[in-house]
């Protein structure tokens, strides 16, 4: 049996991937999961601003160990930027309304915490070069 969501995606979406850089705010805590291979991965959802007051829902999945650890250090309400491969998605709710979003397979994570850490590392490297 095929769900309305599957039928909608199969009949109205053209499959293609985009390389994206997205910034937004996490709308709930990321979730750690373990795949069939025994490797950890994480999923999270972000509200990304789009055209003024509108926003788009971005669902993201992360497989590489370092970005997984980085995203799991964040929580609901944290600002985050990430890069990866994306595809447009849509789904139909039970009431018949159609909603649109973006699904991203993340390759890199950047948050204010990571920027601060990189700045400290760079400052330390500069001090070593001077000394």
Question: What mean pLDDT is reported for the chain?
Answer: 82
Write down the pLDDT at residue 125. 60
Mean pLDDT across 9-36: 80
Per the structure block, which two tokens stand in for 5?
A: 């969501």
Residue 15, pLDDT > 60, answer: no
Domains assigned to the chain: 4-130 (2.40.50.140)
| CA within 13 Å, CB half, 63 | 8
pLDDT tens-digit series, residues 93-130: 899 988 888 999 999 998 776 667 667 777 776 666 66
- d(CA 55, CA 48) in angstroms, rounded, equals 5
Write down the pLDDT at residue 103. 93
In this prediction, residue 68 has a pLDDT band, given cuts at 50, 70 and 90, of: very high
Write down the pLDDT at residue 114. 66
Write down the pLDDT at residue 71. 93
Write down the pLDDT at residue 110. 83
Mean pLDDT across 37-44: 95
pLDDT tens-digit series, residues 69-83: 999 999 999 999 999
Burial of 55 (0-12, 13-18, 19+ CB in 10 A): middle
């Amino acid at each position: 049996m095929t769900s309305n969501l599957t039928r909608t995606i199969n009949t109205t979406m053209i499959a293609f991937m985009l390389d994206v850089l997205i910034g937004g705010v996490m709308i709930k805590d990321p979730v750690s999961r373990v795949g069939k291979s025994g490797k950890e991965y994480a999923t999270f959802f972000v509200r990304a601003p789009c055209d003024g007051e509108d926003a788009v829902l971005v669902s993201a999945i992360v497989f590489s160990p370092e970005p997984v650890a980085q995203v799991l250090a964040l929580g609901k309400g944290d600002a985050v930027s990430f890069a990866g491969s994306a595809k447009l998605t849509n789904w139909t709710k039970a009431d018949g309304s159609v909603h649109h979003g973006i699904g991203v397979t993340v390759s890199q994570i950047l948050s204010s915490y990571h920027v601060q850490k990189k700045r400290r590392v760079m400052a330390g490297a500069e001090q070593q070069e001077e000394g």
